[in-house]
Amino acid sequence: MKISGKVRWGIIGCGDVTEVKSGPAFRNVENSELVAVMRRNGEKAADYARRHKVPKWYDDADKLIHDPDVNAIYVATPPSSHAAYAIKSMRAGKPVYVEKPMAMNAAECQAMVDVSEQTGVPLFVAYYRRALPMFVKLKGLIDMNAIGDVKMINLILHWPAKPEELEGSVGWRVDPRISGGGHFHDLAAHQLDYLEYIFGPIKAAKGLAANQAGLYEVEDAVTATFQFEAGILGTGSWCFTVPERQISEVTEIVGSKGRISFSFFSNTVLHIETETMVENFDVPNPEHVHQPLVDLVVKDLRGEGSCPSTGKTGMRATMLMDNMVGKLN
């Protein structure tokens, strides 16, 4: 399915993520425009439309989905409604770009992929690191064999609890009925998706998960080991209740000729060490971090290129996380 003319987007769920990270990208990209937004709170939808100069707003998702001026849909709600809105949109013949994590669990992801294949309507997932400049640079270094044959990948993401969690206020990201998981599902999704993008499929993954601090229902600590089909081994350690002084967020890629370390979330610096050099590459993010990937989505829809983040690839990250926390065991 290809779109002739401009890709005319409607957003379902114009919340915080759409203010700067994603929303403006849909009007900044060539041959793309944002024509409608929807939020259940009509006043907030109208306010968003006014501030972002969007012609139409709705408080009913079905009306946006069936608006004839909308020919593609961005689902930016929490994960609990990703599958329902994406499936409705695809059945209405409208390509979908859905936020990550792709859905509540691997089964919902599979249902979305099945509808995309049955209808022939494209499905993309907002794993925008696949197109961000720093991560493009990193993939280039790996592809040019800058550190030799990759042997090991080690992930550490240790962050403190949010102040409101310590005070007993639980946000939707740690409510399993809305998010499908906790901070692990929200953040590890980006990491696992990107690592599969540059190193290929992970063929085996297992982990242990625990709720150690009791601040909310879902796990707050996860450890995992995994192996890629290419033979690379990986480890991961995620904890979301460490003291401030113990914050640590680093990914290390170990090769036969050196290593690269970087942060997925904290900065845009690639640190590379080999026998002959030590160098830092600082590759800043664009103002709207979704924009490079949205550009690829639009090109794909218009038959001018391809987008590397699809429903099939997006499903992989959710499947791996479900496995690591024991949902698929």
**Residue whose token pair is 């499908």:** 180
Q: Note whether 234 and 228 are within 8 A (CB).
A: yes
**Which pairing describes strands 72-75 and 7-12: parallel, antiparallel, or unpaired?**
parallel
Q: Note whether 259 and 273 are within 8 A (CB).
A: yes
Q: State how far the Cα of 185 lies from the Cα of 318, in Å rounded to an integer.
A: 8
Predicted TM-score (pTM) of this structure: 0.96
DSSP conformation letters of 205-268 = EEEEEE--S-SSSS-SEEEEEEEETTS-EEEEEEES---GGG-EEEEEEEESSEEEEE-SSS--
Q: State how far the Cα of 268 lies from the Cα of 249, in Å rounded to an integer.
A: 12
Output the six-digit token pair for 62: 């079905």
Cα–Cα distances in Å, from 87 out to 73, 231, 257, 311, 317?
11, 36, 46, 12, 19
State yes or no: cis peptide before 101, omega within 30 of 0: yes
Q: Note whether 48 and 67 are within 8 A (CB).
A: no
Instruction: Specify whether domain 7-127 bears CATH 3.40.50.720.
Output: yes
Per-residue pLDDT of the chain (329 residues; tens, 9 = 90+): 899 999 999 999 999 999 999 999 999 999 999 999 999 999 999 999 999 999 999 999 999 999 999 999 999 999 999 999 999 999 999 999 999 999 999 999 999 999 999 999 999 999 999 999 999 999 999 999 999 999 999 999 999 999 999 999 989 999 999 999 999 999 999 999 999 999 999 999 999 999 999 999 999 999 999 999 999 999 999 999 999 999 999 999 999 999 999 999 999 999 999 989 999 999 999 999 999 999 999 999 999 999 999 999 999 999 999 999 988 64
**CATH 3.40.50.720 residue ranges for the chain:** 7-127
**Domain 133-284 in this protein, CATH class:** alpha beta
Which residue type sits at 159? W
Q: State how far the Cα of 71 lies from the Cα of 160, in Å rounded to an integer.
A: 42
